[in-house]
Every structure is written in structure tokens, then in C-alpha cells.
Amino acid sequence: MTPHGVALVDKPAGMSSFSVVSRLRRVMRPLGVSKVGHTGTLDPLATGLLPICISEATKFAQRLLDSDKGYLATVQFGAATTTGDAEGEVTHRSDRSLTASDVAAALATFQGPIRQKPPAFSALKIAGKPAYEYARAGQSVEIAEREVTIHAITLLAFDEATQRADIEVLCSKGTYIRSLAVDLAVALGSAGHLAALRRTRTGGFSLSEARPLDAWMEASDEQRLAWLLPTDSLVIDLPRIDLDTANATNLCNGKLVALSRVANADVSGATADSTLCRVYTGDAPARFIGLGRLGDSGILRVERLLSTK
């Protein structure tokens, strides 16, 4: 059977997320793997946690795309750039000298729901093309603001001599830390850009669990398989239902399953109708077969399943 699961990669600087996926696909191909996909891009400048879904796990990647993210960011005040980060050319400078108190006070105003415009140099699709393609061609396109949520934002350190701030951010999906850095500088009456970025969290996954890309590339096939997290780690927050073999087969065949007729069916955590659940079958160890939706009167219907091949 083709292996499936989640590879937690610590992405190096200077490489696109697509390049990381391509390299991992190459070393996993001898194991029969063809489908590989990341769960949210990181800019080439950025480092840190890049969860990569392998084979059947790609069916459940959307949950990580929609999840909260955590970052460590360095903001350089005093100079704005074309890209909003250190890779762009300086467009203008500010000689305002900021203090740690200034920055901390400004950060507090960004916590909670905020309006934010994605950077012109971003992968956001506009009329079917990434925004950065228009920007590189010198074409100006309208990019609409969007609402995102900053759950927590903390000043970790500030160097008055260099005018650099290290901050920690926990935010909703779709948040651009480059835009946050630029907007923070503007709020302080200065100019600024993102100097460095490291992703520390995606959903329930942490950077502490990840391994450097070089380690994944140099490991043996057996070691890579041992490092893969199980596919159900992508949906571990959902309530769990265990079915016997007969009812699991019925569900996989598209039939409705009445949980009232399933012995020892545990639906703890399912508190409302139409609740998405992770479904398991078999004796110990139980086997994850996919997602089901629990509806009215305890009726379970299939939502998304692992391949049975």
C-alpha cells in the first residue's frame, strides 16, 4: 500500500514552498508516492514549519489551510521596500527614532479583527494569475482589503540602535505578516519592512516537531516513513466514531449508518447535528478510514474517505 501521512519540514530560507514539495516528492517517489502538497505557502525569505501532505493525506489538507498560524517575525523600522520585506528595493526612509514602549503600544492596537491589504508581491490570485506576476511586470492591479484576526501579538525584543523589533504573532488564516510589518510602521509614523520570518505553528502542529529539509532528503526510506505523522493527525480535533467492520464497509459503500444500531458507538464531542467526525474501524489498533457527517437522529453519512485500494 502506498504510504500516506504528514511530513513536518523545517523550511530553509531562500527556497520556495513549491521547491520543498518538489524535492520531497522526488525522494518519496520510489515508495510509490505521486501526490504531495503543502498546507500553506511560505515566502522564500521565510523559514520554519511547512507541513506537507503525502498521498491520501492531501484529501484533508484544507483543514490546515484554514487553520491558525504562529510566527516569529523581525520588523526593520526606518525603511520601506517595494515588496514589504528585505528582498525588495528601498522606496523611502524615515529618520524617526522609536522606543520599545512606542512599538509595544502600537502592537496592542493590532490585536483582534483588523483590515489588511495583501502585498502586491504575493501569491494571491487575481484574474487567475498570482499578484506577483503583475507586480514584476510593473502592472498595477487593485487588491481588496480583507479582514483577518490577530489572536495575540507580543513584543519579544527591541533594539533602539538598529530600530529592529522581534515580535511573536498568532493569527488567523490569510494573514500577511509582511503587510502587518508595513502597517505597524505606518501606525508609528515611520517606514518599515519585514526583515525575517519564521513560522512556528500551523493548526495543531508545532515547529518543535519538524525536521530540516536536509534531514528528510538524506534519510533512508525507512526513516522517512517513521517520521511521517498519521493522516488522522490532520483531523485530530474532530470527534471520533468507531465502527465495527460491517458498518464501516456499509459507510465506505455510501450507505447511511444509524449509530443507534452500532454497539459501543462513541460520539463524544459531537454536540450538534451535521457534525463532522473522524471514523475508525477494526480491532486494536483501530484504523482511520476517513470523515463522516453525523446528522439528525444519529445518522452517519460518508464525507471523505481514504482510498480502499
Concatenated DSSP letters for 58-104?
Answer: GGGTHHHHTS-EEEEEEEEESEEESSSBTTSPEEEE--PPP-HHHHH
Q: Quick one: 93 and 154 in the same domain? A: yes
Q: What is the pLDDT of residue 120?
A: 64
- Cα distance between residue 195 and residue 208, in whole Å: 22
Same domain, 276 and 188: no
Same domain, yes or no: 181 and 73: yes
Cα 14 to its chain centre, rounded Å, is: 19
Same domain, 47 and 82: no
pLDDT score at 34: 86
Give the total residue count for the chain. 309
Q: Which residues are catalytic?
A: 43
> Which range marks the domain in which residue 260 is found?
238-305
Question: Domain holding 283: CATH number?
Answer: 2.30.130.10
What was the pLDDT predicted at 281? 87
Q: What CATH number is attached to the domain comprising 124? A: 3.30.2350.10
Does 154 lie in the same domain as 212?
Answer: no
In this prediction, the residues of the chain whose per-residue pLDDT falls under 70 are 120-143, 261-274, 283-284, 308-309
Q: Say whether both 257 and 270 belong to one domain.
A: yes
Helices 100-108 & 177-187 angle (0-180, nearest 10): 120
- The answer to whether the peptide bond before residue 118 is cis (omega within 30 degrees of 0) is no
In a shared domain, residues 107 and 208: no
Q: Are residues 166 and 99 both part of a single domain? A: yes
**Residue 155: CB atoms within 10 Å:** 18
Domain end residue (candidates: 152, 184, 200): 200
Set of cell numbers at residue 133: 506576476
Q: Are residues 35 and 145 in the same domain?
A: no
187 and 276 part of one domain: no
Same domain, 121 and 211: no
Distance CA 31, CA 42 (A): 27
Q: In which residue are the cell numbers 506577483 written?
A: 132
Of 269, 52, 256, 79, the C-alpha closest to 185 is 79
In sequence order, the β-bridge partners of residue 159 are 164
Q: Within this chain, do residues 113 and 128 fall inside the same structural domain, yes or no?
A: yes
Domain tally, the chain: 3
Domain ends where: 200, 219, 252?
200
